């Protein structure tokens, strides 16, 4: 089939494109500015001409009809991750433009990758980052194109923002202060290879609507995940509980440590206030016989990449 990967220059998109090509599909790598595309996005690397780079900026709806012309399926990987005060309205505008353009082009299906929806308690509010992702999911699904959303936990893979933050924290902070609120929140990670497999499975089966949660099947606290990473990576670390430190202060302190954009770090830390575990167990997210990767193996694979 012909698949348009919207956001192909990001972490997940750059790994999905070669996987789809290896399975024999024709891939359109959608980028906001083809002139700035990396070498892996500009060339086919002897792939029989089955890969092409196209201008696909969801905030420029005029470019979408050409990008979608002749496309069977769309993978939507656009996330602003809290960049700028208007990030939520831009996420919404992009999703709306893509929904309308897919309908006009007669696209057969769309697969959207989001995050696990937090299980917030009474009176709690979702993070701005997660609220925007859920809004995008709803906006994409409001059109006639079947949209299936894969809600993924923390992705354990080299290049994933969440994984690189985990790696940097353990590399640079042998003594890790852990806020009290973070010690009670649970996470359920997922290996990069499993996310890619679920994506391809969603594309290659019958078109469907709805969503499914992606996790490894093991739930633990974020400090426990830090401890697991340190053990697998052979890093001596110590976690010390601290009290009275709000999430935004934690994010501000972590940003220079992990050398990452403050908005991105803030979005990730804010999400850790809630449990991020699977709730909707969809039985057929993977092909028959597929075994999900455990946390330790996923970390080892990411460290080798």
SS (H, E, C) the chain: CEEEEECCCCHHHHHHHHHHHHCCCEEEEEECCHHHCCHHHHCCCCCCCCEEEEECCCCCHHHHHHHHCCCCEEEECCCCCCCCCCHHHHHHHHHHHHHHHHHHHCCCEEEEEEECCCECCCCCCCCHHHHHHHHHHHHHHCCCCCEEEEEECCEECCCCHHHHHHHHHHHHCCEEEEEHHHHHCEECCEEHHHHHHHHHHHHHCCCCCEEEEECCCCCEEHHHHHHHHHHHHCCCCEEEEECCCCHHHHHHHHHHHHCCCHHHHHHHHHHCCCEECCCCCCCCCCCCCCCCCCHHHHHHHHHHC
The dihedral through the CA atoms of 8, 9, 10, 11 has a sign that is: positive
Measure the CA dihedral 219/164/36/139, to 10°: 20
**What is the model's pLDDT at position 38?**
54
**What is the model's pLDDT at position 46?**
45
Check whether 110 has a pLDDT greater than 80: yes
**What is the model's pLDDT at position 242?**
81
Least confident of 40-44, 56-60, 101-105, 272-276: 40-44
* β-strand partners of 241: 178
- Region for 124 from its dihedrals, namely left if φ exceeds 0, alpha if ψ lies in -120 to 50, beta otherwise: beta
Q: Which of 246, 187, 249 is nearest to 217 (CA)?
A: 187
Cα distances (Å, whole numbers) of residue 252 to 66, 139, 170, 259, 260: 41, 31, 18, 11, 11
**What is the model's pLDDT at position 178?**
83
Least confident of 22-26, 133-137, 142-146, 273-277: 273-277
Average pLDDT, the chain: 87
Backbone angles phi, psi at 42, to 5 degrees: -95, -25
Check whether 43 has a pLDDT greater than 50: no
Q: Which of 207, 161, 199, 190 is nearest to 76 (CA)?
A: 199
Per the model's pLDDT, the better-predicted residue between 156 and 279 turns out to be 156
- What pTM does this model have? 0.90
**What is the model's pLDDT at position 44?**
42
pLDDT tens profile 192-231: 999 999 999 999 999 999 999 999 999 999 899 999 999 9
**What is the model's pLDDT at position 239?**
85
**What is the model's pLDDT at position 266?**
76
**Assigned token pair, 184:** 């009670």
**What is the model's pLDDT at position 238?**
86
Q: Who's near 90: CB < 8 A, 6+ residues apart?
A: 59, 80, 84
Check whether 39 has a pLDDT greater than 80: no
Cα distances (Å, whole numbers) of residue 259 to 160, 176, 240, 252, 253: 14, 17, 22, 11, 11
- What is the percentage of the chain residues whose pLDDT exceeds 90? 60
**What is the model's pLDDT at position 184?**
76
- What is the percentage of the chain residues whose pLDDT exceeds 70? 88
pLDDT tens profile 230-243: 999 999 888 888 87
pLDDT tens profile 295-304: 999 999 999 9
Backbone angles phi, psi at 280, to 5 degrees: -95, 95
pLDDT tens profile 118-127: 755 445 567 7
Please give the average per-residue pLDDT across 276-280, as a whole number. Answer: 84
Please give the average per-residue pLDDT across 89-108, as a whole number. Answer: 96
**What is the model's pLDDT at position 62?**
96
pLDDT tens profile 249-258: 777 777 777 6
Check whether 37 has a pLDDT greater than 90: no
């Amino acid at each position: 089939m012909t698949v348009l990967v919207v956001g192909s220059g990001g972490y997940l998109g750059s790994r999905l494109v070669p996987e789809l090509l290896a399975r024999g599909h024709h891939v359109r790598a959608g980028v906001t500015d083809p002139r700035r595309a990396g070498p892996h996005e500009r060339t086919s690397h002897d792939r029989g001409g089955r890969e092409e780079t196209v201008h696909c900026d969801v905030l420029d709806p005029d470019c979408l009809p050409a990008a979608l012309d002749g496309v069977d399926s769309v993978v939507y990987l656009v996330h602003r991750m809290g960049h700028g005060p208007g990030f939520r309205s831009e996420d919404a505008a992009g999703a709306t433009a893509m929904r309308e353009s897919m309908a006009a082009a007669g696209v057969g299906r769309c697969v959207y990758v989001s995050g696990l929806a937090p299980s917030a308690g009474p009176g709690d509010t979702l993070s701005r980052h997660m609220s925007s992702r859920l809004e995008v999911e709803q906006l994409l699904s409001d059109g006639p194109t079947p949209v299936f959303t894969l809600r993924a936990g923390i992705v354990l893979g080299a290049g994933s923002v969440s994984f690189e933050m985990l790696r940097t924290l353990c590399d640079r902070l042998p003594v890790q202060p852990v806020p009290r609120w973070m010690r009670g929140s649970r996470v359920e990670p997922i290996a990069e290879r499993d996310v890619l497999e679920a994506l391809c499975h969603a594309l290659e089966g019958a078109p469907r609507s709805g969503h499914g949660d992606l996790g490894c099947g093991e739930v633990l606290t974020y400090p426990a995940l830090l401890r697991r990473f340190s053990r697998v990576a052979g890093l001596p670390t110590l976690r010390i509980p601290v009290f009275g430190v709000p999430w935004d202060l934690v994010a501000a302190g972590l940003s220079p440590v992990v050398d990452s954009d403050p908005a991105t770090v803030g979005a990730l830390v804010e999400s850790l206030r809630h449990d991020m575990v699977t709730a909707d167990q969809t039985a057929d997210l993977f092909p028959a016989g597929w075994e999900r990767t455990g946390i330790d193996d996923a970390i080892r694979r990411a460290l080798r990449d």
